[in-house]
Chain A
Amino acid sequence: MSVEQHEVQDILTQYDQDRDNLIPLLQDVQERLHYLSPQALSAVAEHLQLSENDVFGVATFYAQFRFTPPGLHHIKVCEGTACHVRGSSRILDTITRTTGIEPGQTSEDGLFSLERVACFGSCALAPVVVVDDKVYGRMTSAKTQRLIEEKK
């Protein structure tokens, strides 16, 4: 068994076989592996005695789950109303321009991945960008550009 498979098995043993554990299981697996690999998904399906297709259907329903490994720095751009009104699309454009990736993609050097998020609930600090789980409020194009350059 690979390291990854061991890690997934560790997680599986913490849950019994009820279907309502599916989403928490997927969340734990993703937290560990940073994405859901076909093997991991398959192991989850087997543990819960569900069809892999069914599990994949559930996983693809929720925006949280990724099926390809994310970049070293995972950038999330809030697209909430307040952020929109305060120019989040400009921020997104800036990130796309400086990293060369569109939302949902990982840069070729594996340094950055980009994701659009509905709302972080930090509307009062709009527009908001989250890089590696750190929240940056009141962003501008210029600040975003500096932030990304720092991470390069």
Chain B
Amino acid sequence: MGSFSLIIDGQTVEVEEGATVLQAARRAGISIPTICDHKDLNPYGACRMCVVEIEGVRGYPTSCTTPAAAGMRVTTQSERLSTLRNRTLELMFSGHPNSCLVCVHREACEQHRPTATKAARSTRCGFCANREECDLRAMALSAGQPELSLPTMYAAYNLERDDPFMDRDYNLCVLCGRCWRICEKIHGKPAISIINRGKWARIGTAFNKSHVFSGCTFCGACIDICPTGTLTDRFARWQGKPEAETGSACILCPQGCAVVAQSKNQRLLAYTMPAFNRDASLCALGRFGAAQMVNSNQRTTRPQVREGEDLIPYDWDAALKAAATGLKEHAGKIAFVISATSSREERYLYAQLATALKGQMHLVPAHALPGDPTLTTIQEAIHGQGALALLMNGPLLGGVEQSRMAFSLVIDALHSDSSEQASVVLPAAMLSENSGTFRSSTGEIRQLSACSQAPGDARAEWRILRDLGQTLGLDGFSYTKVEDITRAMDNAVGEDAAPPAMTGDPRHNVRELITTYRGHQVADIVPALAAFGLPQRSMIQEESTAGSDNGFPILEKKEIVPNMHFFKIQAPQVAKFALPGQFVILMARETSERSPFTLVDWDADTGTISLVIEEVGRSSRELASLRAGDMLAHVSGPLGQAMPVEKRGTVLLGGGCYGVGAIYPLARALKQAGNRVICGIEASSSYLLYMQDELTQVSDQLILATKDGSEGVRGGVQEILVQTAEREQVDQFIAIGCTFMMRMTTELSRGLNIPTLVALNPIMVDGTGMCGACRVSIGGDTLFACIDGPLFDGHAVDWDELASRRSAYAPQEIQALSQGVDLSALMHQAHGPTDTHQCGCGR
């Protein structure tokens, strides 16, 4: 192929034949904005951001689709081009929530909330898991403060969460087509396609089938190539941008696929494909399962030694000593049962130990299931040997076998029945926590690089074996790093054998996934895998009170605007005694956590209460998944102090998020008490405003504010407060909403000398003053939001303390979300959800 040159922005560029103008520009170091273009995909020409001017060519061709030609003269920057690009960007953003980008409070807000806040629907960047990696956001911000004046057309597609590993929010999709194009490229027969056309065009599957049944192999390429937060890995979703990407290999099966391990804070987020092509694709277990296994709560974290009936935590030295003693005692009668999913170094050290202790080495293939002929052979061999001790790196043999032994040592990363029965348990590191080498079933040697920290006291297996060797006083166990073992092994053994190949091809057929890892059933560790029919020790049975006769009936339930759910619940005792400002604590199920919600309305006669619940984390999601007719397990209340209702003159109530509903009963009471009531409510964009009609009825004036200026005042309650105070005397200000809004408005009202009440929302458990989780500092005193609040003098609140206490359990809250998948719904559903939630927002 020949090369030729063309001129881009006055610069001569030499390119190979077949290059596009965009590629040529990149070659010259000239950057042209684009969303739909990707180096691993064919040109598509959909986003229209990469338009350029070419001498002699009519109009504004897209550089990504235009082949470069000899002598071509291209201009990539001009006033006309930047106008066109900005307007195209504006059009693109009108189909993608964007209020944060034009919000006057963005910088202050991001300072207070440095990471995105978890939410069900991402209605703004601040609620988007992909905030730090969003190409759209980066493009908009690089253009300075973008001019986005077109209203957002929120599509209100259902959130797609009926999938084992991925969350999909097509309300963020800009139809760049990267996902289906990469799917088609990698798999030939794509598991997704563009469905419909025009404004109804979206990415989807045939007849909205679940991805479990659409031919999806869960390689995750679509997630990795998506420029927005539309497609996310549920587990990694709220963990933020990976800090490190380390090349390594996955050793969950003998294929030993090369991976790029994404990690953050020494924690594995995901294994991803090293390149976007068919050969580099990963199976569902590698792509999604590995990170969940490594971060599983079933990890073994401390060395343990049996003392009678009990396994007692020991320190490493003592545990190693106990292990060495046990082994030494049975030298010559030890069976080593080792999984093939061990690194070469580990296997080498096990073999060294076996030789020194005159034990027998048995290698268990990765895919061996109970009853596998290999296992039977091993068992027979063990019997033949008359073994009295057993060393296993996983629950590889049945419990009967183990119980026959006088001594058993289990070196494993995960808890099991075998470790329960063991004489000594040594906690090992696994997968991304280990370094070394691995020989794949095709014979290739893959490099393993540690990129995450083993939990607790768990250690790399090679270190455990080395230390064990040293404790046993054996020669040749003086390695200081894993490479030393590799070298020693290469010198001693030469070519080691490749593990037997597995039968299926899980990378291209999700039904052929390997079901065990070192004797553990993987679906026991990653329950979502049961969706593919993987065996599980016990099916997870979600207790559900829905449909049961006990509890509090939900009379009405609808999503009034994205993320905001209106509930009307039969709770006569609460309704009878409720006062403005009070709240209730709800539990969706008997197993749910208790969560507090402000009462929006109540009717003692009918015995009903109304609430507006914002869907944020796991508990509110459980609540949001209930429907009219279902039962709530518990409703406790009314709780907290009522607001003192007195005549103050003019009262301004500011509401944001759930606070829009929460100010309603206060406004009503204050109005009845003869006050002039002004309600000011804020939302990111006009489509997120709600309860305007209700608030109009209970106030003298309703002022709207939107962050993007699409309706009412541009800004938030801050602007409403300042503008109202300029116009008239405000005698009392009450703010309910997010901590950021309450804090900002409180600072303003202090300067304006307006007495201010805020409704604090710390983490709360029992709601009766017992647990103390909700303690807040008010003017130096420690008070409990549940019994002393929720309303407090805003000017006396220690906001920093509140913020830090509120975020104390952020990692756990994030982890809880990924476990919230409703598998029972998923597994029995060949087609998409047939009875979709029908509500105001189209969910």
Q: State the A residues within 8 Å of B (CB).
A: 38, 41-42, 45, 49-58, 60-61, 67
Contact = CB atoms under 8 A, between A and B. Distances in A.
Contacts of A67: 207
B190 A54 contact: yes
A57 B195 CA distance: 4
A61 B197 contact: yes
A149 B214 CA distance: 44
Contact of A53 (B196, B197, B205, B831): B205
Contacts of B207: 38, 41, 56, 67
* A-B residue pairs, 9 tightest by C-beta: A57-B193, A51-B189, A56-B206, A52-B206, A53-B193, A60-B196, A53-B206, A60-B195, A38-B207
A51 B190 contact: yes
B831 A54 contact: no
A57 B200 CA distance: 12
Contacts, number: 49
B214 to A, nearest CB: 6
Contacts of B206: 38, 41-42, 45, 52-53, 55-56
Nearest to A54: B193
A53 B188 CA distance: 12
Contact of A56 (B184, B193, B831): B193
Contacts of B204: 53
Contacts of A52: 205-206, 214-215
Nearest to B198: A61
Nearest to A55: B206
Nearest to A38: B207
A54 B206 CA distance: 8
Contacts of A61: 194, 196-197
B823 to A, nearest CB: 23
Interface of B: 184, 188-197, 204-207, 214-215, 831
A56 B205 contact: yes
Nearest to A50: B189
Given A38-B206, A38-B207, A38-B831, A56 B195 contact: yes
B155 to A, nearest CB: 16
Contacts of B189: 49-51, 54
A7 B767 CA distance: 65
24 contacts: A38-B206, A41-B206, A41-B207, A45-B206, A49-B189, A50-B189, A51-B189, A51-B190, A51-B191, A52-B205, A52-B214, A52-B215, A53-B193, A53-B204, A53-B205, A53-B206, A54-B184, A54-B189, A54-B190, A54-B193, A56-B193, A58-B193, A60-B197, A61-B196
A101 to B, nearest CB: 18
A18 B184 CA distance: 18
Contacts of A57: 193-195
Contacts of B205: 52-53, 56
Contacts of A55: 206
B7 to A, nearest CB: 40
Nearest to B211: A53
Contacts of B214: 52-53
Contacts of B194: 57, 61
B144 to A, nearest CB: 38
Contacts of A56: 193, 195, 205-207
Contacts of A49: 189
Contacts of B195: 56-57, 60
A32 B790 CA distance: 66
A52 B187 CA distance: 13
A53 B213 CA distance: 11
B182 to A, nearest CB: 14
Contacts of B197: 60-61
Nearest to A45: B206
A137 B153 CA distance: 38
Which of B184, B204, B207 is most buried by chain A, counting CB atoms within 10 A of its CB?
B207
Contacts of B193: 51, 53-54, 56-58
A67 B195 CA distance: 13
Nearest to A36: B207
A61 B191 CA distance: 17
Contacts of B215: 51-53
A67 B209 CA distance: 14
A42 B189 CA distance: 13
Contacts of A41: 206-207
A91 to B, nearest CB: 24
Contacts of A53: 190-193, 204-206, 214-215
A70 B630 CA distance: 35
A56 B2 CA distance: 42
Nearest to A53: B193
Contacts of A50: 189
